[in-house]
Amino acid sequence: MAEHYKITFEPMGVQAKAPAGTSIYEAAGIINIPLRADCGGKGLCGKCRVIVDPPHNLSALTESELGIFSPDEIKRSYRLACQAQIQGDVTITIPEQMADSREARGKTGLRGKYPFDPMVERIGLQKDELPEPKDGILADGASWVAERATRVAGHEVFIEDLGALRQLSRPEAYEGEITLVNHLKRGITAVIPGNKSRSLGLAVDVGTTTLAAYLCDFHTGEVIASSASVNPQRRYGEDVISRIAMTDNREDGLAILQQIVVEGINYLLGRCVEEVGASAEDIDEVTLVGNTTMEQIFIGFHPHGLGVWPYLPVLSSPRDLRAEEVGLNLNPGTNVYLFPVISGFVGGDTVGAILAEKPFLRDEMCLIVDIGTNGELVLGNRDGLWATSCATGPALEGAQISCGMRAVSGAIHKVELDSRTGGPTWSVLGDDENIPPVGICGSGLIDAIAVMRKMGVLLPNGRLKEGMPGVICDENGVGREYVLVP
């Protein structure tokens, strides 16, 4: 009998066993993972594309695959599920499914209009007039376009960005009207043929687990589209510490994590512009937040320093990047504003929350709590702010809790005070009403603590009150444990 190998499918994280020679497509079928195969598995339609790791545990690339994939995609370990046959343990990532998983839902409800004051403007120029010589000398193309743009905009405009200059040099820019994207600090960042007045902004939130993107109309301040997906880095570790370890352990680790998160963002921005019938060249600025590790990986900084004392970020100030410096599929010079971070473990997402909630303008004390895979807390008011962070997902789901688990079937996800008995009641996740609890997930744990406080089992100083029902004492008579489910 042929040897069986372990096939892990991401982003779902499910596994199958399959004998050598099975195609990825067949292996997915074993555990009911639907893959598209419009051509019936003949290697023609390219719809069943997946990313494999490690590539050498699969059969060689077939002629069909060489025809369908670009050399770059081959380098990035793309395969057709119907063509590649399993020859060893392998992890299969299904790019199309990235956006449909459960974790990504609930991140895209942020519609509405917001006050706005963009750093960018669009300036339309008519078909090139010929430059006027000054002192008998003709200007160069760059100073000539800057001069005309300054005249149209009514304020000083300059062009220095390499991507914008490259666009300006192209034959299309000589053919008729052109539209300039002018960043008030960086000058012209894009030169687009034609009269294109639409101007969009993209806000990106890079979470350890989830990516979210919001598309905003710079003429109205309205959020017109949003999209979320799993952070594809997840297959290299659930939390930031395991991602840092991965970059320390593999020479190509940082390059891989950087590339796949950018691919994920490109995928989301494509969905956003498609939703509103726009195109990527309509996006004039991107702002991006994330915890410090996520931001560093995105910009291509090795997160090594975040894993060793004194946990210093490379850069805490904000950074204006050019889209092509990180690989975003936009005009190459489009500005990407990376939020400043507060410390190695309090990132730009917290800065974003502070800017949104403005505790620094308030008299009353204010607590901002961001519970994600990592959690951040900000406490304070106009007199000052204190920020700190902790592991949240792992803390609530595993680390230091003997019965912690994720919010899946069997988890206690809700705890309430039974007014009749004065004791706790709990609910378990799952379709079957009588499913027995096998552990407790984050929301259950927070509920449990609240109920324990209400019952008086948990004292204000965090100690358990000895003698209360369910409290177990150690040999010295100190309350150490509380039994929620006997």
CB of 372 to its own copies, least distance (A): 23
Closest CB to its own copies among residues 80, 104: 80
Alpha-carbon dihedral angle through residues 235, 239, 243, 249, given to the nearest 10 degrees: -100
Alpha-carbon dihedral angle through residues 15, 409, 403, 413, given to the nearest 10 degrees: 140
Closest CB to its own copies among residues 29, 380: 380
Closest CB to its own copies among residues 8, 259: 259
Residue tagged 């590339």 (tokens):
259
Give how far Cα 31 sits from Cα of 15, 350, 484, Å.
8, 40, 36
**317 interacts with its own copies by CB under 8 A:** yes
**170 interacts with its own copies by CB under 8 A:** yes
CB of 329 to its own copies, least distance (A): 17
Residue tagged 């034609």 (tokens):
194
Burial 95-124 (b: 16+ CB within 10 A, else e): bebbbebebbeebbeeeeeeeeebbbbbbe
3-class DSSP state for residue 482?
Answer: strand
**343 interacts with its own copies by CB under 8 A:** yes
**71 interacts with its own copies by CB under 8 A:** yes
Closest CB to its own copies among residues 9, 144: 144
> Distance (Å, rounded) from C-alpha 482 to C-alpha 440?
13
**222 interacts with its own copies by CB under 8 A:** no
Pick from 287, 270, 288: which is nearest to 279 by CA?
Answer: 270
Residue 445, sorted as left (phi over 0), alpha (psi -120 to 50) or beta, turns out to be alpha
Cβ contacts of residue 14 below 8 Å, gap of 6+? 8, 31, 33
**470 interacts with its own copies by CB under 8 A:** no
CB of 374 to its own copies, least distance (A): 19
Contact residue for its own copies among 308, 369, 408, 473 (CB under 8 A): 308
Contact residue for its own copies among 214, 236, 301, 337 (CB under 8 A): 301
CA angle centred on 85, ends 84 and 86, rounded to 5°: 125
Contact residue for its own copies among 296, 329, 335, 373 (CB under 8 A): 296
Identity of residue 64: S
Site for its own copies in 117-156 (CB under 8 A): 130-131, 138-144
Contact residue for its own copies among 115, 136, 154, 171 (CB under 8 A): 171
Binding mask 27-66 for its own copies (x = CB under 8 A): ----------------------------------------
Site for its own copies in 236-275 (CB under 8 A): 248
CB of 171 to its own copies, least distance (A): 4
Question: How many binding residues for its own copies (CB under 8 A)?
Answer: 41
**304 interacts with its own copies by CB under 8 A:** yes
CB of 38 to its own copies, least distance (A): 26
**320 interacts with its own copies by CB under 8 A:** no
Cβ contacts of residue 322 below 8 Å, gap of 6+? 161, 163, 189, 332, 333, 334, 335, 336
3-class DSSP state for residue 100?
Answer: helix
**314 interacts with its own copies by CB under 8 A:** yes
Closest CB to its own copies among residues 60, 367: 60
Residue 384, sorted as left (phi over 0), alpha (psi -120 to 50) or beta, turns out to be left
**318 interacts with its own copies by CB under 8 A:** no
Closest CB to its own copies among residues 303, 439: 303
**Structural contact between residues 426 and 414, judged by C-beta atoms closer than 8 angstroms:** yes
> Distance (Å, rounded) from C-alpha 339 to C-alpha 277?
28
Contact residue for its own copies among 95, 290, 313, 394 (CB under 8 A): 313
> What are the residues binding its own copies (CB under 8 A)?
71-72, 74-75, 130-131, 138-144, 162, 165-166, 168-171, 174, 248, 296, 299-305, 308, 310, 312-317, 321, 325, 343
